[in-house]
Chain A
């Protein structure tokens, strides 16, 4: 595998089930056992009803684009990403609820008008290291 030069997240005990799922290509999300709502990022308490009964569920990996931007400035983005400008960052509304930040694959950063807010996207995972597979999204 070619060396992954961009930032690699550090899983912590709270988020570990998500990263375990990512290694298997599954989107695992925390869901409150009391109010039944999914939240992101992972917490030990439900941000909606403040129950601490959180379980992990496998999600569909489907979502829609809430909004996006095209990153042009090398100096403003993290190490590794500077070599990839222009690239498209986006916030994804998950089919199960709540929202993720990502980078969109399979879009043309030089033609932002061709990218549709509200458009459907599907998750995929890229192996950044043995332990960490990073979620990205792609229009379907």
Chain B
């Protein structure tokens, strides 16, 4: 039996900023937020001033002030890329409790452009850790920094425990790239300089319809031959670093009827954490997604067998592979088979990461919003006419989707079960 909060609120629209990927001109993270908010309000017909709850990864007071809003609910949960799935969970609870009517979940991040602005415009420059913080004190001596330097330990452990190989995980990158070649918004949509497409000029980064130097289809060999970053992770096991802004609106059933775009119902939601610093991870081949998914499935009164597609955070190929196992979509140690056996591929029985993923579509640093936007696009049918961006990308006929964000160092997870109206 579904939980009490199940289906009591819906995502009624989802939109992105005007320029995502590799914009020619940098826009601040705040601007990316605001463009997406404006787009989602235009798309749904819900005015900005109707928003009475703001949910973002650290930005809520600034967003409220910038828009001149005085919301009744302010949530700045920032626990990595899964924050946005948690925001939806929190918004569902707040709407179910009758505290607010219109929740905004918003994201803006100049992951790519900050390299040209010296970090200006990011709003939240990432400093080093507090030297006394135990996580910092007992790990900083060993130099691990960027996310790949940590996640590689999980991939190696998975290979040792289950006998999986680097090639197995490369299959995830290959199939995910295949999806990207169907999405004109994806950075890796196609290869610049191929066919009628002129090569990129010096200083031009391309992406999307313009093409990318390394865009278009890839093979397992392409992944295996890409340069080592943190063995056994290679460059093409790693997500992109892009700009992105995204926003979704969530309301109860009555207001959902007033939206110009269809509702996608929140059937289930759950969140959990296993650690913050990877030092405390416990078993390196498991994440808290098993717990957050159990909560979400329970609320929904549904199980993994009921899911017709999945949006799974793929910061790295290993993140997607392990998470598929935690979500009950594949047996432990065999998550990669969903991709290798092409169940997750275009035309497969369980399409996964239909936008091209963090690996080949867009990953701004935190990717949870991109998961939400794509799940909404696929389930609502708004992708058929291209939605607000005008780029069609309806890839599936799915009516249910499990969405799972992963944050930190495989630390935090938020899981949603979303269903369309019929």
Contact = CB atoms under 8 A, between A and B. Distances in A.
Contacts of B233: 69
B137 A72 contact: no
Interface string B142-180: 111110110011111100100000000000000000000
Contacts of A59: none
A12 to B, nearest CB: 4
Nearest to A72: B228
Contact of A10 (B131, B139, B148, B149): B131
Given A66-B284, A69-B153, A70-B230, A7 B143 contact: yes
B217 to A, nearest CB: 26
Interface string A51-82: 00000000000000011111111011110110
A12 B149 contact: no
Contacts of B160: 67, 117-118
Contacts of A112: 156, 231-232
Contacts of B148: 73, 76
A67 B144 CA distance: 14
B228 A70 contact: yes
A95 interface: no
Interface string A3-40: 00011111110110000000000000000000000001
B157 A66 contact: yes
A43 B279 CA distance: 14
A77 B153 contact: no
Interface in A104-126: 112, 117-118
B141 interface: yes
Contact of B137 (A9, A43, A76): A9
Considering residues B142, B146, B152, which has the most beta carbons from chain A within 10 angstroms of its beta carbon?
B142
Contacts of B154: 67
A91 B230 contact: no
A48 interface: no
Contact of B230 (A73, A102, A118): A73
Contacts of B49: none
B175 to A, nearest CB: 24
B143 A42 contact: no
Interface size class on chain A is: 35 or more
B141 A8 contact: yes
Contacts of A7: 140-141, 143
Nearest to B285: A67
B139 A76 contact: no
Contacts of B139: 101
24 contacts: A8-B141, A10-B132, A11-B137, A41-B134, A41-B135, A41-B280, A66-B284, A67-B154, A68-B156, A69-B155, A69-B156, A71-B144, A71-B149, A72-B229, A72-B230, A73-B148, A73-B149, A75-B146, A76-B229, A76-B230, A77-B144, A77-B146, A89-B144, A103-B142
A78 B135 contact: no
A100 interface: yes
B138 interface: yes
A99 interface: yes
A70 B231 contact: yes
B134 A77 contact: no
A134 interface: yes
B138 A73 contact: no
B231 A91 contact: no
Given A15-B134, A73-B148, A117 B153 contact: no
A76 B142 CA distance: 12
B143 A67 contact: no
A76 B145 contact: yes
Contact of A12 (B132, B144, B157): B132
A68 B153 contact: yes
A67 B153 contact: yes
